[in-house]
Structure 1
Amino acid sequence: MTIDALAATPRLAVIAHEDLQSCAADALLTGFARSLAGEGWPIGGVVHARRLDAAGRKRMFLIDVASGREFCISQDLGPQSRACCVDPGAVAQASGVLRQALADRVRLAIVNRFGELEATGGGFAAELAALAGEGVPVLTAVSRKHLQAWRHFAGDAGIELPLDVQALHDWAQRACAPAAEGASAAPGKAA
């Protein structure tokens, strides 16, 4: 579904990207969140950052877009590990940011990604569904390897956007417009 083909703008939007573009998607979401906050939009959610810790190890963080609070979501599995190093407990702790965004009735929620955890029903899946179900537009990112799971999750309530800031702005203006309220079904509830 493209943004031009919409009669009613879906409340769930995802930046669909190739695996090698995940850093670009992270940067786009972070920049977009900063731009909206700078314009005075009441937004909530988390964005993703990668950087080295004090010991020089690569770490992943979720950053609360409203407060700047950081959650380290990397766990040290040892140098020989090839498993996913995302710490589900830290993700669960960061999910409180999304629940607070729902309680605050933000204008738009940004979620770092729909990844492996969400594709299997964990991670932020419940929070994504709760936000969209309560009419809060949600923007996230998904790599191609999880795109089918995203499509199953979002159903008719979702739209796929390119890695393009103007496409994000266009969607956000339409999804957050008062006339769009109640226009789309919640995830898992096809219209």
Structure 2
Amino acid sequence: MQHPEIKMAALHDDGTGNVHALLRALVAEWRAQGRDVQGLVTRPGPPGAACSADMVLVDVVTGDEYLISQNLGKDAQGCRADPAGFARASQVLRRAADAPAALAVSNRFGKLESLGEGFADELMALLSAEVPVLTVVSAQHREAWDTFTGGAPVLAAEAEVVRRWAGLGPQLAGAVAVG
């Protein structure tokens, strides 16, 4: 069971929509309203790009970009994640913890975070600083998410649901969590 003082949630990425576009749109909306939202979102790839396209994160405050993938060649089977790229981008999340931000976003709780790598340390620093965190998780990493967070909610990838969770929208019946 999640501790009530922990405010962390993930958008459910079921693979049927563009959850990253939703996260980018919500962050842009909130920042346009003057909200102190900090963190990293995924830059969209070129139209029709294959999974071999560069993975780039964007600092929502400065617009700085961080390449977090490496080109391993067309026949490579290994993970393309670049630890050095993650290390460079991690400064954005550390800054959000130090500020502290009103809300921090992180592009994804994925394979690396499920192994205690990637942005796992930065997510814990944000929680320690009592900064609410919003990220994305797929079903593949849901069990690791539940273990890492102690059961933080996974939200339906719908704008109003996320706004309610963040306290930045109509306070209706509460956010809708996904099983």
CA contact (8 A) 1:50 1:59 kept: no
CA contact (8 A) 1:10 1:159 kept: no
Structure 2 counterpart of 1:136, from 125, 131, 155: 131
CA contact (8 A) 2:6 2:130 kept: no
Equivalent residue number for residue 152 of structure 1: 147
**Among the aligned pairs, what percent are the same residue?**
37
RMSD: 2.2
Separation in 2, partners of 1:50, 1:35:
17
More helix by share: 1
Equivalent residue number for residue 185 of structure 1: none
Separation in 2, partners of 1:159, 1:47:
20
TM-score, length basis structure 2: 0.85
CA deviation after TM superposition for structure 1 residue 109, in Å = 0.1
Structure 2 counterpart of 1:45, from 23, 26, 39: 39
SS at 1:51's partner residue? coil
CA contact (8 A) 2:6 2:127 kept: no
Structure 1 counterpart of 2:164, from 159, 170, 181: 170
Q: Would you say how many aligned residue pairs link Structure 1 and Structure 2? A: 164
Structure 2 counterpart of 1:25, from 19, 28, 32: 19
Separation in 1, partners of 2:147, 2:105:
20
CA deviation after TM superposition for structure 1 residue 50, in Å = 3.7
CA deviation after TM superposition for structure 1 residue 10, in Å = 4.4
SS at 1:58's partner residue? coil
CA contact (8 A) 1:50 1:58 kept: no
Separation in 2, partners of 1:10, 1:31:
24
Long gaps (5+) in structure 2: 169-179
CA contact (8 A) 1:115 1:142 kept: yes
SS at 1:135's partner residue? coil
Equivalent residue number for residue 93 of structure 1: 88
Structure 2 counterpart of 1:66, from 44, 61, 70: 61
Residue type of the alignment partner of 2:12: A
Structure 1 counterpart of 2:7, from 5, 8, 11: 11
SS at 1:102's partner residue? helix
Separation in 1, partners of 2:160, 2:72:
39
- Runs of 4+ in structure 1 over 3 Å off: none
CA deviation after TM superposition for structure 1 residue 127, in Å = 0.7
Q: Deviations over 1:82-137 (max 9, x none)?
A: 32211111011100000011111110000000001100000111111111122100
Separation in 1, partners of 2:42, 2:89:
11
Q: Does 1:126 align with 2:109?
A: no
TM-score, length basis structure 1: 0.79
Separation in 2, partners of 1:61, 1:80:
21
Long gaps (5+) in structure 1: 175-191
